Amino acid sequence: MSLGSEFGGKSGTAGHQLTEFSSLSSEFVPYLLATADAFVILSTSILGGIAFQVALGNEIPNIIPHAAVGLLASFIYILRMSGSGHYDFPECAKPRVETANILVCWFTTGLLLAFFAFLLKIGVAYSRGAFILFYIFAPFGLLSARKSTKIAVASAMSRGSLGRKNIVLVGDFDEVAALKSQDMLFFSGTAQISRFTLSRNDDPVERAANDERVLNSAINFVRANNCREIVLAFPWTDTDRIDFVRDSIKVLPVSARLLPDARVRSLSQYSSASQHAFAIEVQRAPLSGAERFAKRAMDIVVASVALFFLVPVMVLTAVTIKLDGPGPVIFRQRRKGFNGQEFVMLKFRTMSVQEDGAVVSQAMRNDPRVTAIGRLLRSASIDELPQLVNVLSGEMSLIGPRPHALAHDDHFQKIVSDYAFRHHVKPGLTGWAQCNGSRGATPSVEEIARRVKLDLWYINNWSLFLDFHILIKTSFEVIRKRNAY
């Protein structure tokens, strides 16, 4: 088992080495590149307008229309470049300047600008001559800025002052040793990386035990450091070990890529600049950063509005529960959320018991533990309203797989192979499974498997439109009181 590294540093348990992180994370690189492009476009628009008027012998014009056109052009151009992945790291660190992509993107941006100019009738305030100068000279600035930023990024990477803080390497002893720092620069965008090296022990029993220990350490590290990607280094012929690692890391909501092994790299003769594209994606991250932001924004807005209007209902419910009998108004129970992290879920108390241990009995139809007022609250799903607080705190989402008690969660994960994928997104107040009839207790393997299948379909097909669709469909399910008890 390896405790060393070609980069030096402290060795850790289970073959894990954490090198010193760089001073600047590569997460900021896309924003810096986009800012540079925006500056070039905005300044070219303003200078083009000034140069055209001065060349005609006129006074320096009002720069506000030129700045407005530059900002609009920046928005369109950056949106198109970002959508094509040209700001992504480490793609943006490759030495080749994407000349054709930049020119095509800019010229289509110009066509869209001309369309908006016609639509908004801004020709009076913005001359055609200034637009032509802007249209011709901007790509020279963009190409120069791209080349300059690539040189700066490459220099920073070679000095070790730029890297990724959100990536780990898990691999076979020999494959990890064969990966040189230059390989890691182009495969993952950094030479400084946290490595978890699996055992090279020939005894299958000992090797399996050591592998499990190393993978548990890697999983805990990814969760503790909010890592976003895992790269795998294994011989491609070792399919059993690759499958074992894939099965182990599926509990993590991160992307995973299998790098070409040493033999493939030696046979392919690919250049360093092209090797990144050759890696195989073995696990996809559920939502991108932009998608997580959009979903979170929807959660905050809708949950805030709902709480504002439902406060009278919640106050009346709390008073009714208190008058109905002894016990707390709010029932608290530990659940697993995003990335398997535990949180305390809130509900109005509807039972005479408050189970939250190793054994938790699911509520069944005509369950004697349900109180009189509790039965009414459960049928109308009013008992779930305190979870709006969980949504606002970020522990839950409005839409997502329903969280289960820890005891049930651990049990279901053992009997349903893909159950862990439910933790790739935040749990929800309601979900695709609940509005498709999979609501209430799951006493059989078939029923929990069906719920998991519906939850995974939601994760793989997520969109804001789908979330709104589920919210509307859930309201009709509640009105019909289907499977509520």
CATH of the domain at 189: 3.40.50
Assigned domain for 132 exists:
yes
pLDDT score of 319: 93
In angstroms, the CA 162 to CA 403 distance is 39
Task: Give me 335's structure tokens.
Answer: 């659940």
Residues 113 and 262 in one domain: no
pLDDT score of 41: 92
Residues 58 and 75 in one domain: yes
Assigned domain for 371 exists:
yes
pLDDT score of 17: 45
Enumerate helices (H) and strands (E) in the chain, giving the number of each: 16, 12
pLDDT score of 162: 64
Residues 350 and 476 in one domain: yes
Last residue of a domain, one of 229, 250, 283: 283
pLDDT score of 18: 42
Q: Calculate the CA dihedral of residues 304, 310, 312, 318 and round it to 10 degrees.
A: -100
Assigned domain for 7 exists:
no
Q: Output the pTM of the full model.
A: 0.62
Last residue of a domain, one of 137, 157, 177: 157
Residues 194 and 94 in one domain: no
In angstroms, the CA 423 to CA 396 distance is 11
Assigned domain for 106 exists:
yes
DSSP state of 363: P
Q: What phi and psi values does residue 54 have, to the nearest 5 degrees?
A: -65, -40
Range of the domain at 406: 289-480
Residues 107 and 63 in one domain: yes
In the three-class reduction of DSSP (H, G, I as helix; E, B as strand; rest coil), residue 454 is classed as: helix
Assigned domain for 4 exists:
no
Q: What stretches in the chain show pLDDT beneath 50?
A: 1-22, 271-277
Residues 425 and 373 in one domain: yes
- Number of C-beta neighbours around residue 366 at 10 A: 7
pLDDT score of 442: 67
Assigned domain for 149 exists:
yes
Residues 307 and 406 in one domain: yes
Residues 130 and 242 in one domain: no
Last residue of a domain, one of 157, 179, 209: 157
pLDDT score of 296: 92
Rg, Å, the chain Cα set: 28
In angstroms, the CA 114 to CA 76 distance is 12
Residues 209 and 350 in one domain: no
325 torsion bin: left (phi>0), alpha (psi -120 to 50), beta (else): left
Query: What type of residue sits at position 297?
Result: A
What's the number of domains the chain is made of? Answer: 3
Residues 170 and 67 in one domain: no
Assigned domain for 8 exists:
no
pLDDT score of 165: 60
Assigned domain for 3 exists:
no
Q: 330 - beta bridge partners? A: 348
pLDDT score of 133: 87
pLDDT score of 276: 42
> How confident is the model over 447-472, as pLDDT tens digits?
888 898 999 999 988 888 899 999 98
Residues 276 and 334 in one domain: no
pLDDT score of 134: 87
Residues 369 and 400 in one domain: yes
CA 386 vs. chain centroid, Å, equals: 26
